[in-house]
Chains A and B, each alone.
Chain A
Amino acid sequence: METSTDSPATVQTMPLTVTVNGIVWNGEVAAEEVLLELLRERIGLTGTKRSCESQVCGACTVLVDGKPVSSCSFLAFEVGGRSVTTVEGLQSGDRLDPIQEAFIRHMGFQCGYCTPGQMMAAKGLLLANPDPTYDDVAEWLTGNTCRCGCYPAIARAVLDAAEVTRRA
């Protein structure tokens, strides 16, 4: 039993069944558990990053039923019966998603910390709008900060990925 003074005891747990990257996960979550913690600590998918914890930076972006959310601020129990996609779920076996390939082609990253969030946000965009303009991309990705300043390359990558996907 934990006796850590900075981890107050959970008062309620809830059963949870959720599909993450196509695989069903069953378990119990604390009411206060956030999706980011569930993904990283319980399920072991560490591709999603923690950063601002204020829904501002986008590093923690995942898709819930195809829509981007801040996993840092999304209560885990809310994904019950839903489908979550993380960066690990972009590729299909060894085949990378067109978004991933485009980010590599266009060097849409430097340190890589914001990259999973950028790509998941981009995935959400292309699911909602397969033919975005530059302005559409810029506006949609407004909530994903890149301190390395790769924004132009990111935008080019997303537009390229959109075209590749449309041609496929």
Chain B
Amino acid sequence: MANLRPFRVLQPTTLAEATGALAQYGDQARIYAGGAELVLLMRHGLLEPDILVDIKRIPGLNAIRTTGDVVRIGPTVTHDQLEHDAGARKLLPLLAEAVATIGNIRVRNVGTLGGNLCFADPHADPATPLLVHDATLTLTRGESSRQLRLDEFLIGTYETAIEADEILAEIQVPPLPVGFGHAFLRIERYHRPTLNVAVAAIRDDGHVGAARLAIGCVGPKSVRLEDLETRIGGLTLADACRVIGEAKPELTELLDPVDDGLGSAAYKIHVACALLARGLTQALGPS
């Protein structure tokens, strides 16, 4: 059937109205922004909402603002918009580069950062660099809000900490510390990432001064590799890459990859380590 199963559309003009609709209709209602994932699920009968709560008519939700040097991104900002935003490109080049790789040009014109994060597909791109940035989120219900770190927000496959009557109202992204280089590397099939890594790092007299490492798509959600970050601090690049290469067993334990159509678990871990090492090299820049 070429058209979708019938539904009603509500078009609230405030966040409180929107969360009120979620509270009122419960399971029957879904937030609708770009619909990049939602419409797909509806077409395949995996979701059958009776009501779509279109949040694109709430003023300000598609804004990219800066407070100090923290970039505040509204949930309905599209990937294309973020990729080309002058402020985001200047303050958050890692994130801007990463969202430019999402899906394809058509998906990027409608898909939103908020929708991407709330859908929490393991094979997604923005969460990985956002973890390197130590991003935080604002979740709103009615007139009240709460703040979460992104790593607290992401729980598992298609699972986040958002409540049924909450809306993701804003994503706050601090820039990387001064002097940090960055890299975002990924491999993909069919317009979705098989694996991605985000790295930010700074040299200290020929050694790794500090590094932030995040990996996505291999486990149920993107994660920071804090233990590995600590172990490579102070090492030469060559030693750091060796340590990364030797981290295969611990990464396998941490990420619990599966054999599937995108590759064997061993393949994924092998590529993960290769991309982490390449990313670190790229982030540290020429010596």
List chain A positions with a Cβ less than 8 A from chain B.
Answer: 6-12, 14, 30-34, 36-37, 41, 50, 53-56, 58, 61, 64, 67-70, 72-75, 77, 121, 124, 140, 142-143
The 5 closest A-B pairs by CB, nearest first: A143-B104, A32-B4, A73-B39, A12-B8, A70-B106
8 Å CB interface, B176-195 against A: 190-191
Contacts of B36 in A (CB 8 A): 55, 73
Query: Are A53 and B3 touching (Cβ within 8 A)?
Result: no
How far is B36's CA from A118's CA once the two chains are assembled, in angstroms? Answer: 20
How far is B43's CA from A36's CA once the two chains are assembled, in angstroms? Answer: 14
How far is B6's CA from A9's CA once the two chains are assembled, in angstroms? Answer: 7
User: Known: A55-B104, A61-B106, A73-B39. Is A12-B9 also a contact (CB below 8 A)?
Assistant: yes
Q: Is B118 an interface residue (CB 8 A)?
A: no
Contacts of B6 in A (CB 8 A): 8-12, 30-32
User: Known: A14-B9, A73-B40. Is A34-B3 also a contact (CB below 8 A)?
Assistant: yes
Contact of B106 among A31, A36, A69 (CB under 8 A): A69
Query: Are B9 and A77 touching (Cβ within 8 A)?
Result: yes
Q: Is B80 an interface residue (CB 8 A)?
A: yes
Contacts of B264 in A (CB 8 A): none
- B interface bracket (residues with beta carbon within 8 Å of A): 20 to 34
Query: Are B105 and A68 touching (Cβ within 8 A)?
Result: yes
Contacts of B5 in A (CB 8 A): 8, 32
Contacts of B2 in A (CB 8 A): 34, 36-37, 41, 50, 53, 72
8 Å CB interface, B1-25 against A: 1-9
Secondary structure of the A contact surface, majority rule: mixed
How far is B8's CA from A7's CA once the two chains are assembled, in angstroms? Answer: 16
Contact of A32 among B3, B40, B109, B110 (CB under 8 A): B3
13 example contacts (A-B, Cβ-Cβ < 8 A) are as follows: A6-B1, A30-B6, A31-B52, A36-B2, A53-B43, A55-B103, A55-B191, A67-B80, A68-B106, A73-B36, A74-B110, A121-B105, A142-B104
8 Å CB interface, B136-176 against A: none
Query: Are B4 and A34 touching (Cβ within 8 A)?
Result: yes
Contacts of B107 in A (CB 8 A): 55, 70, 143
Q: Which residue from chain A places its CB closest to the CB of B84 in the assembled complex?
A: A128
How far is B39's CA from A70's CA once the two chains are assembled, in angstroms? Answer: 11
How far is B190's CA from A55's CA once the two chains are assembled, in angstroms? Answer: 10
How far is B203's CA from A120's CA once the two chains are assembled, in angstroms? Answer: 46
Min CB distance, B50 to chain A, in Å? 8
Query: Are B3 and A55 touching (Cβ within 8 A)?
Result: no
Query: Are A124 and B105 touching (Cβ within 8 A)?
Result: yes
Contacts of B109 in A (CB 8 A): 64, 67-69
8 Å CB interface, B87-108 against A: 103-107
Min CB distance, B143 to chain A, in Å? 29
Q: Is B35 an interface residue (CB 8 A)?
A: yes
Contacts of A74 in B (CB 8 A): 35, 110
How far is B103's CA from A54's CA once the two chains are assembled, in angstroms? Answer: 11
How far is B1's CA from A58's CA once the two chains are assembled, in angstroms? Answer: 19
Contact of A69 among B3, B43, B110 (CB under 8 A): B110
Contacts of B103 in A (CB 8 A): 55, 143
Q: Which residue from chain A places its CB closest to the CB of B1 in the assembled complex?
A: A6
